[in-house]
Amino acid sequence: MAASAQTHSRQDLFDRSEARSMVITRQGIVATSQTLASQAGAQILARGGSAVDAAIAADAVLGIVEPMNSGIGGDLFAIYWNSKTGKLTGINASGWAPEKLTPAFLRRKGFSQMPSSGIYTVTVPGCVDGWAKLHARFGRLPWPELFQPAIYYANHGFPVTEWIHAYWQAEVPKLAANPNARRIFLSGGHAPAIGQIFRNPEYAKALELIASQGEQAFYRGVIARAILQTSDRLGGVMTASDLAGFSSQWVTPISTTYRGWKVYELPPNGQGMAALEMLNIFEKFPLPQWGFASADAFQVKMEAQKLAYADLFRYNGDPRFAKIPVQGIISKAYAAKRAATIDLQRAHCPVTHGNPTRFGSETVYLASVDEDGNIVSFIQSLSASFGSGIVVDDFGFPLQNRGAGFVLDAKRPDVLAPHKRPFHTIIPAFMEKGTIHIGFGIMGGLNQPQAQAQFVSDIVDDGMNIQSALEAPRFTNLSHGGCGFMIEDRVARAIRQELERRGQKLETRGDYCMWMGGGQAVLHDSVTGVNYGASDPRKDGEAIPEPGPYFTKNRN
């Protein structure tokens, strides 16, 4: 195996810190946050499907088995790597605000800021259109076949898993407030228990329509009419033209280099540029020499997070409506200027944004790789848990509350406007060096750029493999600034005490805290043709390999 795929000595393996081994196979792999979804994707690969086919099938299943975090009422983003050409392609399938949803309208309704849930946070869901465009370009199997696993679980049910139960239980008050949500997701007024069978035949009907009629069923057909009926009943302003006029966009990934690796994110309206800025700042410090178990390394990473997020909150928005200084934010010169402000011995709590113009919520993430080595880095979300809290009449799926990412301040680049896309937190990522190519992502709203930057550093600076890097203890700051970080208690107490002496305000959490986000990763070695998969223990998921030909049927 190539050195970059990470090897261990026997002694390292006897004393290793990670709990799981990587999945390693010559066939494809699908890694998701729920095992049934991973299995569905792996079976699609075994039937001759592409990495994109597997990602769509797995994501459709996640909408059933992890309904608070994903589904056809949400948005998606993806990066596709073609193993033959080496080309990366990105898609932005984030929906826009209804044309009639404006700051003036909301102020007349009594809002001084964007609400966090309810009908006025609902934007056009981009997921189904994103699926359709990805399949048309990179799919192999017939479109209807991709939805059969999800339709099966929606009709026949599945036993609820541990993490997903915990998410569900936390949202009982939100679900109870909406009659459709209460009827479908709270049997007897309660969230399903661990191991309890949950079915959603209404959602199965929606998927059957999408399978037979394509995306038109969702944006112009029966499902569209149900969305509009639901919106109208609740006083919403979405129209048929808002749905019918929407289209996802193909986009070119943005990138930086990090100690010989190239790391890619998608451009705004997503927050991927913050991860690249953090890495550029990391690069100004000798992290490989300091090692993972170092207060200096954590200090640099925490200070870099503050600097990058200050820029993110100041400049991010929809580039169709505002000039976003992306190239400045991700430039090496700008990173040097920002890195020069870091004091290793003293935390900076009030951090302001810089001037890069001179320099050029809840979510599912999955990664798939097929036997040809093509990789999909794929992320999908309803934003908050169960999105807006509104479930569509007759079809049993929640609508996202992604519109809560807008602001009403006209001076901000992310101010609400008709057919504008909001500030988006969900970001797929990709990195490569030589023959090694990795699709990865880590969930959790504002956690994502900082978690991704830590993951990259764990691999590049500390020599971890993709499984150990997903498992490594992390920190996160989910606010809009300040020195308050949650940190897992697997970080040595002496390091935590030293960081607090330097001025960081730490809240110690458990070994594998859900606030640090759950991630997935796949790796392809283009010399050996071997694939590797990894799945984060902070979720219920698993990386599952494609069965070999001996075990499969109906392979094309």
Q: Known catalytic residues?
A: 363
Structure-token pair, residue 517:
């986000």
Q: Distance (Å, rounded) from C-alpha 50 to C-alpha 46? A: 9
DSSP, collapsed to helix, strand or coil, labels residue 487 as strand
479 φ/ψ angles, rounded to the nearest 5 degrees: -100, -175
Q: Following CA atoms 541, 425, 175, 183 in sequence, which dihedral angle do they give, to the nearest 10 degrees?
A: -70
Beta bridge partners of 362: 383
Structure-token pair, residue 513:
């805290």
- Helix 148-156 vs helix 201-213: angle between axes, to the nearest 10 degrees? 160
Residue with tokens 């040595």: 492
DSSP, collapsed to helix, strand or coil, labels residue 131 as helix
Q: Distance (Å, rounded) from C-alpha 415 to C-alpha 399? A: 21
> Distances in Å between the alpha carbon of 362 and those of 40, 331, 447?
22, 30, 10
Structure-token pair, residue 92:
């932005």
> Distances in Å between the alpha carbon of 446 and those of 195, 416, 514?
31, 20, 13
Q: Which DSSP letter does residue 74 get?
A: S
Q: How many CA within 13 A on the CB side of residue 329?
A: 28
- Close Cβ partners of 336 (under 8 Å, ≥ 6 residues apart): 284
Count Cβ atoms below 10 Å from residue 429 Cβ, excluding itself.
Answer: 30
Structure-token pair, residue 116:
């966090």
The per-type count for the chain, helices as H runs and strands as E runs, is 21, 19
Q: Distance (Å, rounded) from C-alpha 334 to C-alpha 355? A: 8
